[in-house]
Structure 1
Amino acid sequence: MSSARLFTLFQKIVASFALLALVSGCTTSSTPEQVLSVPASPQKYAAIVVDARTGKQLFEMNSTAPRFPASLTKMMTLYLMFEALESGRLTKETQMPVSVHAASQPPTKLRFRPGETIDVDTAIRALAVKSANDVAVAVAEYLGGSEEAFAAAMTAKARQVGMRGTVFRNASGLPDEAQHTTARDMAVLGLALRTHFPQYYYYFSATDFMFRGKLVRGHNDMLGRVPGVDGIKTGYIRASGFNIVTSYDAGGKRLVVVVMGADSARERNAHAEMLLQRALSPSPAKPQFAFSDR
């Protein structure tokens, strides 16, 4: 498919989100099959399931409520990296310096020393697989001049692709009270990454990569565990709970599932898998959810 046709399809998907928001507050049925426990409080939990081929919303709960993105933020950091690769501003061999500020970021990180450099290909893998905070800042400073300027560019790009409820304040997703997003916006970003950069989407399918002779393993346990799942990103800070954007592509179906605010990675993954299985069911029953009070 040509890039023009891909962009047109993506515009239709974003438009369909807007229409659904007007005509439907939630796709859950008033007569659900059963009550299922949500592994989070209502103040943190949000979820959405979208048919990536049509833009149809298959399920949502709290999908436009503000939430902390945590390391899902790095999806936009990667989006701007992919744009820079396409424009020729970066190559995969470009060396980016690591500043004192970048090296000082808290884990998860690759533990660079100030003055060292990282090539773009390794940086992409470090962000997509390991969610390295020191690398996110190094990328932001290289492309934006400063992390603050890069975060402003991230927010501007969010508006351009149809993310109406997102503000970025840093490139990593580390805690910042002014940084917020929505489950819907994260689904839009997941769709945009695949639509606009299919040639780079394989990075989100990686479960590990080699760095300085050592195998670095990732955090996304949905990969390799759930057939058809091919990405894309996890995230966690205490204020957000455990978040995930998951893509599925198999059997002629393509879905994006977002779960935010779970109490653990295991519960988040189980909940995302449950939503995925119900969306793939021939006649999925619409569940009612009960929140835990933890």
Structure 2
Amino acid sequence: MTTLLGRHARNFVCLVAFIVVAACSSPQPSGAAPYAAIVQDARTGEILHAENADTRLHPASLTKMLTLYITFDEIQRGRLSLDTLVTVTKNAASKPPSRLGLKAGQKISVRYLIRAAATKSANDAASALGDHIGGSEAGFAKRMDATAKALGMRNSTFKNANGLTANGHLSTARDMNTLGRRLFYDFPQYYNIFSRRSTDAGVAQVRNTNSRFLDAYTGADGIKTGFTNAAGFNLTASAERGNVRIVATVFGGASTAARNAKVAQLLDLGFKRAPANAPTNVPPVPSYSADVEAALMAQADPLPEVEGGAGKTIRLQTAVAKSPRPVTRPDAGKVAAAEVAVAAIEDSIAAALAEAVGGPAPAGTMDAQAVAAASAAVEPPAIAPPPARPETLVAEVAPESAPEIPAEVVVAAAPEVVPEPGTLEAQAVAMAAEPTLDAQAEQFAALPDSALPGDELMVTEPMQVAAVLAPAASAPPKRNAPIFDRVADAPQARAVEEPVVIRLSTSNARHWGVHLGKFNSRSSAERLLLKTQLAESAILNDGLRKVVQRGGGYDANFMGLTQDQADLACRRLQARAVQCFAIGP
């Protein structure tokens, strides 16, 4: 009996042992996701520690860092603003938790979607951004792949904007660390969103999923958590102590606490190994392929809806068809002088022809006026009491060549007022007082023969008689042109040319400016400056458009403004959903 019981006991023990061995030998899922980690000096880009850093794994919600990077880039390119209203698609509204609770057809501004995706890690908010920018989930995935390649993320491919598990949606610890460093350097104006413990997401107040780590680790200021069953607990963190900034990424943590502890350990390792003083090597501007860059720079659709107003697209034709050589600008002074010279020559020719023909001067000319003034018995109207002229005008004979002239030759002149020298009246009086050629000839004929200088002086030569009778010193030279110019032909006083302003001085308290953002290319910055100046010409026409290359990008600024102009410009631009801030001296 004992033997039978013993046999049954042995069989039972053997059966249990067999079951245990079979259970142990069969494959069992471990329940833990693959582990990967990397530590990097954010200043220099040097890798301080790496473990499975290039293994392609599920990134989970670390994907949202790339979604936000592309959103910031769209804002910088001017195709989005923080107040742009996004219509939630059915695809976005159907995403599982974590969620903001968006409904299909609902409209919500970009700023709230950014806050929800960055802090609460809301899948519906991230998908709403992706669908709006890419047109669809697949379209945005292509944009994500192109941007990842331009940023140097060589082992990443993406299928959605939120990071939910999907075939082919994979990345590495190295690539995600690269992306975290890029967010800090490429968009410092938005980086503070990752350190907020809570924020207003429009439809709800949301808390940061990374609050525990931010509160526990000194110097931590971001960046993003992630979790799925396939990925485990992921985290890309950044912290700064003194002059040192470290970025670390962990994939495959067993729990939130274990992940946070591991990241803290890695950051401590980074601060220990990184030098206290090291040069900052800012990452270069992303280099997109030609076709991708052409698509990104293509003309955007009309501006999206903005709460409280409608947008209007300003399309600029910047292609130059031809560039003709500019025509030389004439000198106004030289042109006026040339016109006066031509008029004088014409008058001289006309006077010479009139004198040669011997006919009367044309009516209305200055010569005709002079003749009328000489023959008129009426004295010209007195303008001002001038000094008295000599009472007599005596024609003297050249010494040793002409005899004495009788008293009859003396021409008596009645006392009269003499016009001011140089005026038209003075010239007319002088011409009237001068004896004509016929009068001189008659005077010469009345002289006795003994008074004649010789046979060579003939009465038939009135010009020679005039030369003898007229004193050489007092006779004015003969002019073919009119004695005095017409008023219309007198050269006008040259107007003082007003200075042409080609550069606005920054003196007189014009040391302020307006900063509109940082861009990846100079053309993007210049296009936004011109577009903004056209839209706000009343305020910004006094400013200078200035693009400054700094930190791997191009800052778009308006300079040369007063403080009041800069503040007013920013308020007006912010009211139109354009991000800006004033720059002080």
> Quick check: TM above 0.5?
yes
Residue 275 of structure 1 corresponds to 266
Give, in whole Å, the separation in 1 of the partners of 2:35 and 2:122: 25
Please list, as runs of the form range in 1=range in 2, the aligned pairs for 1:121-200 lying within 5 A after superposition: 121-200=111-190
Give, in whole Å, the separation in 1 of the partners of 2:246 and 2:164: 28
**Match status 1:77 vs 2:53:** no
Secondary structure in structure 2 of the residue aligned to 1:118:
strand
**Match status 1:206 vs 2:188:** no
Q: What letter matches 1:270 in structure 2?
A: A
Pick one of 37, 46, 58 that aligns with 1:56: 46
Give, in whole Å, the separation in 2 of the partners of 1:43 and 1:112: 31
Label 1:146 to 1:233 Cα distance change in 2 as closer, same or farther (>3 A).
Answer: same
Give, in whole Å, the separation in 2 of the partners of 1:118 and 1:279: 40
Secondary structure in structure 2 of the residue aligned to 1:222:
helix
Paired residues of 1:240 and 1:261 also in contact (CA < 8 A): yes
Paired residues of 1:44 and 1:261 also in contact (CA < 8 A): yes
Secondary structure in structure 1 of the residue aligned to 2:224:
strand
The two structures have a TM-score, normalised by structure 1, of 0.80
State the Cα deviation string for residues 160-196 of structure 1 (Å, max 9, x = none). Answer: 0100000000000001021000000001101111111
Worse overlay, 72-81 or 96-105: 96-105
Displacement of 1:204 in angstroms is 1.1
State the Cα deviation string for residues 201-256 of structure 1 (Å, max 9, x = none). Answer: 11111121124574311210211221111100000000000000001112110110
Residue 224 of structure 2 corresponds to 233
Q: What letter matches 1:159 in structure 2?
A: K
Displacement of 1:137 in angstroms is 1.1
Higher relative contact order (CA 8 A, sep 6+): 1
Residue 224 of structure 1 corresponds to 215
Residue 85 of structure 2 corresponds to 95
Give, in whole Å, the separation in 2 of the partners of 1:158 and 1:212: 30
Q: What letter matches 2:51 in structure 1?
A: M
Pick one of 94, 104, 108 that aligns with 1:114: 104
Secondary structure in structure 2 of the residue aligned to 1:49:
strand
Paired residues of 2:240 and 2:246 also in contact (CA < 8 A): yes
Secondary structure in structure 1 of the residue aligned to 2:213:
coil
Secondary structure in structure 1 of the residue aligned to 2:234:
strand
Secondary structure in structure 1 of the residue aligned to 2:156:
coil
Residue 283 of structure 2 corresponds to none
Displacement of 1:82 in angstroms is 0.3
Q: What letter matches 1:134 in structure 2?
A: D
Residue 247 of structure 2 corresponds to 256
Residue 236 of structure 2 corresponds to 245
Paired residues of 2:33 and 2:253 also in contact (CA < 8 A): no
Give, in whole Å, the separation in 2 of the partners of 1:201 and 1:95: 22
Give, in whole Å, the separation in 2 of the partners of 1:277 and 1:134: 35
**Match status 1:86 vs 2:76:** yes
Q: Runs of 5+ in structure 2 lacking a partner?
A: 1-29, 276-585
Paired residues of 1:245 and 1:258 also in contact (CA < 8 A): yes
Paired residues of 2:117 and 2:125 also in contact (CA < 8 A): yes
Give, in whole Å, the separation in 2 of the partners of 1:214 and 1:165: 36
Displacement of 1:199 in angstroms is 1.0
Displacement of 1:258 in angstroms is 0.3
Paired residues of 1:97 and 1:115 also in contact (CA < 8 A): yes
Paired residues of 2:61 and 2:226 also in contact (CA < 8 A): yes
State the Cα deviation string for residues 243-274 of structure 1 (Å, max 9, x = none). Answer: 00001112110110101101111100000001
Q: What letter matches 1:236 in structure 2?
A: F
Give, in whole Å, the separation in 2 of the partners of 1:97 and 1:257: 36
Pick one of 31, 34, 57 that aligns with 1:44: 34
Paired residues of 2:177 and 2:249 also in contact (CA < 8 A): yes
The two structures have a TM-score, normalised by structure 2, of 0.41
Paired residues of 1:148 and 1:169 also in contact (CA < 8 A): yes
Label 1:82 to 1:282 Cα distance change in 2 as closer, same or farther (>3 A).
Answer: closer
Give, in whole Å, the separation in 2 of the partners of 1:282 and 1:154: 33
Give, in whole Å, the separation in 2 of the partners of 1:158 and 1:283: 27
Report the structure, 1 or 2, having the larger strand content: 1
Paired residues of 1:41 and 1:261 also in contact (CA < 8 A): no
Paired residues of 1:93 and 1:120 also in contact (CA < 8 A): yes
Displacement of 1:283 in angstroms is 9.2
Give, in whole Å, the separation in 1 of the partners of 2:32 and 2:49: 16
Residue 23 of structure 1 corresponds to none
Worse overlay, 100-109 or 205-214: 205-214
Give, in whole Å, the separation in 2 of the partners of 1:129 and 1:206: 7
- Structure with bigger gyration radius: 2
Label 1:59 to 1:103 Cα distance change in 2 as closer, same or farther (>3 A).
Answer: same
Secondary structure in structure 2 of the residue aligned to 1:59:
strand
Paired residues of 2:33 and 2:230 also in contact (CA < 8 A): no
Paired residues of 1:262 and 1:268 also in contact (CA < 8 A): yes
State the Cα deviation string for residues 35-54 of structure 1 (Å, max 9, x = none). Answer: xxxxx988610000000011
State the Cα deviation string for residues 52-85 of structure 1 (Å, max 9, x = none). Answer: 0111111110000111010000000000000011
Give, in whole Å, the separation in 2 of the partners of 1:64 and 1:212: 38
Label 1:108 to 1:213 Cα distance change in 2 as closer, same or farther (>3 A).
Answer: closer
Cα RMSD over matched residues?
1.8
